Amino acid sequence: KRSTMELKCLICLDLFTDPVSTPCGHNFCKSCLNQCWNNSQTYRCPFCKAHFKKRPDLKINTALRPVLELFREKSGLSKSEVLCDFCDDIKKKTDVQQMIQDRMKRIQDIRHLAKLSKVSRCQSELLEMMEQKQKAAEKQAEELIKELEQEITELKRRDTELEQLSHTEDHLLAFQAWIRVARDWSTTIREEVLFLWGCLFFICWFSIIALLFISYLSLLVDVTLDPDTAYPNLVLSDDGKQVTSKDIKHKLPNNPERFDYCPCVLAHEGFSSGRFYFEVQVKGMTDWDLGVARESINRKGIITAIPEAGYWIVVLRNGNNYLAGESSPVPLSLRVKPQVVGVFVDYEEGLVSFYDVESRSHIFSFTSQSFTEKLFPFFSPCKNEKGKIAAPLIISHASCNICTIQYTM
């Protein structure tokens, strides 16, 4: 004799409607399970989290449906009434589970509001800083105008002096006066023009950089590492934000998604349109690979990480050799050693750009690329040297890292 618990869907916690079974043997309403998988990029059992490589073909459980119909006929009650009459304890448990779900949703909402508030605050700080710089430039411009007006008065005086000298018979004295005025005038104009151009360049440059980082901040995505793709020597943190290369090779299933020769790992999240941006801390590392890769890349054996093979990456080797992964590797000359690297992708424009976040400088860009598949963030801490403790690659959380930068001009 079946209990009411066995006749309930594990998603909606109600009596089954069109019951279906997963390959792992758990039962759900057909509509509940379809809705769960329609909102996900992977297919897992909602109860035991068993992973299915492809979406199972759901068929009505013909053995369970007659039991449900017989149960309803004998009870003569609605589903909610059946639960109340047959198992009041289960209803109480359901109420508690609903309360847990409600509070978890409230936690998510609060975190989302806090994130929006932080972004808004950062944007306000940047705009306020830009306004202060502009006021300073305006003040300098006013002071310059006053100086120029004083120089105009002085030049008029000299002009009067020269006019008087032009009527003198001492031509040598007149010529020397003309030379002196011309030299003073040339020097003054050249210095002021250069100063004005410098002010204009500073205002434009700061505005562009500030707006660029505000734009990238709005595109910052929350990226986590996918353990199903990780090379067996890699160790991933519980939150999926850090990856370290170790000497010990773990015994893991050699599924199609996993890299089996190169120490690489992809993110869970993939993108097939629009623009996105993420940041990775590389502090203390001597070797690393960062960038994006398309979904259909070869993950078995030796990898040729170039755009033609579906990789758009920048690498560090031996502590100071930076290269862009073109068909012929492009050496990169960087002014400072990056501690945090930002990766920006514009899918429609075919653009992948890399930035040194702390120095606010551009590292390299792949341009005019053609993307036709989903792109996944790509990471490699490279192979660990025996006996040497390797630093981890750390993915920054989707927060206002950019706004912690001190803008000193």
Q: What is the pLDDT of residues 324-355, one digit of tens each?
A: 999 899 999 998 999 999 999 999 999 999 99
| Pairing verdict, β 43-44 and 51-52 | antiparallel
Mean pLDDT of the chain: 80
pLDDT at 107: 85
pLDDT at 406: 32
Per-residue b or e along 174-191, where b marks 16 or more CB atoms closer than 10 Å to that residue's CB? beebeeebeeeeeeeeee
| Residue 335 main-chain phi, psi, to 5 deg | -70, -40
pLDDT at 83: 45
Contacts of 68 (CB under 8 A, 6+ apart): 7, 15, 16, 19
- Could you tell me the CATH superfamily of domain 234-396? SPRY domain (2.60.120.920)
pLDDT band at residue 200 under the 50/70/90 scheme? low
| pTM for the predicted model, two decimal places | 0.49
pLDDT band at residue 180 under the 50/70/90 scheme? low
pLDDT exceeds 70 at position 2 = no
- Could you tell me the CATH superfamily of domain 19-75? Zinc/RING finger domain, C3HC4 (zinc finger) (3.30.40.10)
**pLDDT by residue (tens digit) across 46-55?**
889 899 988 9
